[in-house]
Structure formats: structure tokens, C-alpha cells
Amino acid sequence: MDSVTPSTGWGVLHLYYRVDRERAEHDAGAAKHVVDAVAALEADGHQALTLAMLGHKADLGVIALGPDLARLQRFQNELLAAPIEPVWSYVSLTEQSEYGATEDDERARLATEDGVTGAAAEEKLAVWRERIAHYRENRVHPKLPMKQCCCFYPMSKRRDPDANWYGLSFDERKELMAGHGRVGRTYAGRVLQLITGSTGIDDWEWGVTLLADDIAALKEIVYEMRFDPVSTKYADFGPFFTGLVLPPDEACARVGLQASGSAR
């Protein structure tokens, strides 16, 4: 099949599986199916993280992303050669935030908050442009790091009569999201946040992937953000999936997929 490439952003799959214990016991190369599928996907210029899941919602988790949706679809089928059964999945796209600060916003902030205008403001704006370009590139074409822990959950904005996010003006929504973003930025260096869009693609409107070496940081950021008005009044959350990020062979070993021998 020809490649299927979004006009903007990359495709993202969150895939969760339960190990079929009976099949796994008779497949001496069970892990090889997963390891080989991940290696082949990465050789084709895509990324995949494998997780040994915490709790009993799933045993194995896989996050895959990249430019070609057809390649991602083939990858999810290749994984099913292993003795695993899908229990949940989510489809989304990397995207820019429509509420991101513009150059005019930053110029106004420099003037009102820092008292900087004229040539001094232009110097600071040059630094800002470089930083924001790097940030925007990472939003659309991210490189997921091998942190120790990962949490994923989907979410949507409410449409209740007394709390309809989409009934607010753009300026109101942008102001609220700016406050929400300030909370998130306090976790820079501790938590990597990947927000992906899924309106019209899956059941919720966004997917939130959080990666950290300290699982307590994942708990703290979600807890603190729930006190922000964007969450307290306007957010609904789906199920949470949390796991340990490991190389594919180690993740498979942790969940009971054999690595020795060859697949039968």
C-alpha cells in the first residue's frame, strides 16, 4: 500500500495488550515477534516505545509514531504475530496548539511585564523566536525519550450548558490555556508532555502522554493541573494507562514473553 501521510503532524498509536499465557507457553520465540516488529518500524524512520504495564488493565504497552499511517497500521498487525490480545488502543496526530503565544503576544508581554521595548525588545524577541521554533518542531515531530515511566490518558473539553468550552470566545480560551501552560512549564526537565489531537479520529479529543523518570512527578503534574480552571470546569478524562518504559526485549521478558529460540 502507498504511504498515507497527514498534511501536518505525525500519526500516533497507543496500543495495549494482554498476554495470552497459554499461547505464550508454547511459543519459544514470543518476544521475537515484538522485538523484530519494533526494529523494522524504527528502520523505516518511525519510533516506538515499549512498556511493561502497571496494574491489570494491560500487560504490554506500545507507543508508535511517525509520518506514515499505512506503516503504523502494518506495524500494529505485525505485533499480533506475538501471543498477545489487544485490550485498548488510541489513535491521534501530533499537532501545534492553536493557543500558542504569537510574536505580538510576546512583544506585549515584554512591554507590560518586563518594561522592555524598542531595540532591547527586538533582541529578546530574536531569542524567543529561536526557542519557540524549537518548541513547535518538537510538538509536531517529537523524539520520545527513554524515561523510566509513562502515563497516557485521553481527554475532552466539556460541552455542558453551564460549562461549554466551545461556547467561550477564542480570546477567553486562549487566556485560560495560557494559565494552564504556565503550570505545565513548571515541570520542565521533570516531565515530558506530548499532547496529540484526536478530534474526529477517536473517541476523545486529545491524548496526553507524560514521560518521567520519577513516577511521583506524573502524579504531581496531573494533580496540580486539576486545580487549574481549564481542568476543574472544562475537562473530562478517560482511562489512565501507566507503565515502565523498557527496551522491547526487557518489556517482553517482564510480561512473560519468551525470548529464547525462534518463533514457531
C-alpha angle 141-147-149 in degrees, rounded to nearest 5: 115
Give the list of residues 6+ apart from residue 55 with CB closer than 8 angstroms, or none: 242
Distance (Å, whole) CA 173 – CA 163: 12
pLDDT digits (tens, 9 = 90+) for 189-198: 999 999 999 9
Q: What is the pLDDT of residue 264?
A: 39
CA-nearest of 141, 140, 135 to 106 is 135
Q: What is the pLDDT of residue 132?
A: 81
Q: What is the DSSP string of 116-133?
A: --HHHHHHHHHHHHHHHH
Query: Taking a C-beta distance cutoff of 8 angstroms, is the pair 15, 77 a contact?
Result: no
Residue from 17, 153, 187, 234 carrying the catalytic annotation? 153
Query: Taking a C-beta distance cutoff of 8 angstroms, is the pair 59, 19 a contact?
Result: yes
For residue 33, name the pLDDT band (cuts at 50, 70, 90): very high
Q: What is the pTM of this model?
A: 0.91
Quick one: cell of 247? Answer: 527496551
Q: What is the pLDDT of residue 202?
A: 98
Q: What is the pLDDT of residue 262?
A: 41
| 1: pLDDT strictly greater than 80 | no
Average pLDDT over residues 50-65: 98
Active site residue 99: no
Average pLDDT over residues 207-220: 97
Q: 147 vs 104, 207, 243, CA distance in Å? A: 35, 18, 11
Domains present along the chain, CATH in parentheses: 11-95+246-254 (3.30.70.1030)
Q: Which residue has the higher pLDDT, 160 or 105?
A: 160
